Structure 1
Amino acid sequence: MAYLRDTPTSDGYFGDYGGAMLPPPLEPHFREIRQAWEQLSKSAGFLQELRYIRKHFQGRPTPVSHLKNLSERCGGAQIYAKREDLNHTGAHKLNHCMAEALLARHMGKTKVMAETGAGQHGVALATAAAYFGLECEIHMGEIDIVKEAPNVTRMKLLGAEVVPVGFGGRSLKEAVDSCFQSYISQADRALFCIGSVVGPHPFPRMVRDFQSVVGIEAREQFAEMTSGQLPDMVAACVGGGSNAMGIFAGFIEDEEVALYGVEPLGTSSSLGDHAATISFGVDGDIHGFRTLVLLTDEGEPAPVHTVASGLDYPGVGPEHAHLHKTGRVTYTTADDAEALAAFYALSRHEGIIPALESAHAIAFAMREAPKNPGKSILINLSGRGDKDIDYVTETYGFGDGA
């Protein structure tokens, strides 16, 4: 079976996970999105325009870098990074946002709207809206607005309306809730551009396919750098999981390549102190799809914590739940302290300031490299840390001694 071609099923299921559980008013709108995507994904004109945008606006392809200094310090495996921090707007998110905005234009929509956690998806969608001349509405939790102030400023400069979300945990899950509520009354003219491989069908597949450019590029670039070899291990951080599915897509059919998803363990394994959904979650429904979910004793989505706002979600993409169940991907964790240590280490020893989300994947590579001499580890450096530097330095200092 060609995995990427045949997964998910026509009704959006990755094994036991996925689907589209929608309130009746939204069913025709998601059907419209699915039909438009199925048509345009096979349209030479749509794909040609997207390729032009990626090359001449986004600056793709982004490079793969050998992290030579970090590899020497860790010992063992050689560490490489796919540099999505060099994608325009500073993260992988623009890969699907430009495509979703292009889809919105083809559908005759005049507005795009979305949730955001760390603000990278919000910035990317605001950028895409400006490029295509669309209105933009971004919902963001009040906690994240404070933590990620530079990205809030960027969204507003780009012309987006930023809607603060002040109920519940005031973070990513609530931002999704708020955006869905707002979308119901605007669905005739707006496209809800979901920011990860989550949500009702077709978004988990659609976002994966848009993000697969990361893995396709990385596979070719790594082979060119290493005389035709493939990496022994590929790793990426996982919240909703779009950056991970993007890089996994390039290697998922290569059984000899071990794939690793790195979840945020926060400050402890106690419920409410982390956002490690695959590690501690159970089967459940959230935001219109079935997946693994962190739940309270009352069966409600649990509060979550991580130093990285973009990973702050009590669910996970249904494809990740499926890949965990089949064993194709191994899911592990890195806690706040490990992520911060990796943030400082990459900054000091490679001249690259990573996003706190990406720092979880770096922490994995630093931990595993000494155990794997003679092997190679490719991580997805999914974003840069400009958005995090004020929060990190004001809260934790400058990492002296890293």
Structure 2
Amino acid sequence: MRKLAFATILTALAVPAMAEDITVGFAIAKSGWMEAYDTPAATAAKIRIDEINAAGGLLGRQVKWVEADTKTDRQQSARAGLQVLDEGADMMVVSCDYDFGSPAALSAEVEGKISFFLCAEDVKAGVQGVGPHAFSGSVLAPVQGATMAEWSHAKRDARSAYVLLDTTIEYNKGICSGFDWMFPQLDGAEIVGRDTFKNDDATIASQITRIKSLPQEPDVIMLCSYIPGAASAVRQIRAAGINSLILNGSAVDGSYWLDATPGLSRFVVPVQGSIYGDDPRPEVEAFNQSYAAATGARPASSYAYPGYVLMDLWAKAVERAGTLDGDAVTAELEKMRDEPTAFGPRSFTPELHHQNSAHMQIVEITDAMPGVVDEWTISTPVPLDVLLN
């Protein structure tokens, strides 16, 4: 019996133990209004995980995921973060929005683990608001506003602009702050008026009256809003006979809302990639088809893309660090300068875990049909003091 036991021990020692899977914890909204943003980006992240596993895994190990529902609730976000940590999460993916994702991200920060916001575009969703191990997979809202300012000036001869800010969420303020920073710097460009409204306002009649009282119709209206308020504002602006080129951020990408604005034209947004099959980069359309194969439909907006990007960048940093340790992986992420991804180059620094410049596709809606008309990278990255405004 002793000989048999000894032989069994020797056999066990001779066979290396199977490495445990790496666990990604998704503390995201699977219900509530944030679900519409979180689910597509989380699906994209899982597509990249499947690709990584098919190619042999990460550090020689397979990657699995666990999930907890934040229910679009801040208190539940904190609970969801703790839940996925209890289930063994080695890194955490949190909601698209800083306010709803940060409680979960803070729980990862306490443990010294990496967290990635799916598509948060507020600078606080990183070093400034969570800590040194928090990153975002998306492009900052001020970059979108600055892109619209510089592109419209260069390509549509915009010299006068009216800024119309929906003050409901920080994202909108970020778009306008980027536009406000860039546009006045441009030759002959002037902001001729500005106004505010709330996303759920039934009417913006008084704001429209002030636009129409200007000596000349502005070349562009910088509308910083999201659906449904953005659609309502656009419909009212056009119904009032105002034909200015209307600009907005990526939040209104997609054709799902266009029934509310029949025949819409001269409406432009910047996006990280095109969902419409006309992106000049074949990698983007390859992803669109992978997403359709996984879900039965193409992405409804470009907000799916940051999920794929974040998982790609994190995996590269883990392989380069040779470990899952949060400090080591953070150091590798912060070394990235113009790191190639399917959706354009990405960079991080110790001061900024976001993109303050990015190559954007310019999508214009003409006769209710969206499509890529151009591409643009701002000439100067948005400075940190503007991002913190």
TM-score using structure 2 length: 0.29
Bigger-Rg structure (1/2):
2
